[in-house]
């Protein structure tokens, strides 16, 4: 089974909402919701990938973040390892630079979105108040 290393960011706006995005890759996970981020490139740290992916996909420039958790999940066709970070400082406004839907969502409304299963642990932690 193919293993994919992914950097994932949990970022809040001034209203306390978190940023989520909808997948545009036309595979079996098309239109599922997830926390922004992306695959680590060869020789890249999770922090470097997070900064690059947020800049490329959302236009947000990360100024400060810290590791939160490591999540591993098996899908039928791949094993993902999510290097989850909380983003504490950033510049810019989120915009969908790759044609994906992006939304700032109150934590209590996250259950209304069809998230990738691998994000469930992050969602549970958010709902339990386990993140800043």
> Containing domain of residue 77, as a range?
2-127
Q: Tell me whether residue 114 is in a domain.
A: yes
* DSSP 8-class letter at 96: -
End-to-end Cα separation, the chain, in angstroms: 34
Q: Tell me whether residue 118 is in a domain.
A: yes
> Residue 60 contacts by C-beta under 8 Å, 6 or more apart in sequence?
11, 19, 54, 87, 90, 91, 92, 93, 94
CATH number, residue 12: 3.90.79.10
Average pLDDT, the chain: 93
pLDDT at 48: 97
Q: Say how many domains are in the chain.
A: 1
Q: Tell me whether residue 99 is in a domain.
A: yes
Task: Choose between 129 and 50: higher pLDDT.
Answer: 50
- The pLDDT tens digits for 43-92 are 999 999 999 999 999 999 999 999 999 999 999 999 999 999 999 999 99
């Amino acid at each position: 089974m193919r293993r994919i290393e992914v950097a994932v960011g949990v970022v809040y706006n001034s209203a306390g909402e978190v940023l989520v995005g909808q997948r545009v890759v036309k595979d079996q996970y098309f239109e599922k919701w997830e926390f922004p981020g992306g695959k680590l490139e060869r020789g890249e740290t999770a922090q470097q990938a997070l900064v690059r992916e947020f800049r490329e996909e959302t236009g947000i420039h990360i100024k400060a973040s810290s590791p939160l958790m490591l999540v591993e999940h098996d899908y039928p066709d791949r094993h993902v390892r999510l290097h989850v970070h909380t983003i504490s400082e950033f510049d810019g406004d989120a915009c969908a630079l790759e044609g994906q839907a992006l939304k700032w969502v109150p934590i209590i409304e996250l259950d209304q979105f069809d998230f990738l299963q691998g994000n469930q642990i992050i969602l549970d932690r958010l709902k339990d108040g386990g993140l800043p």
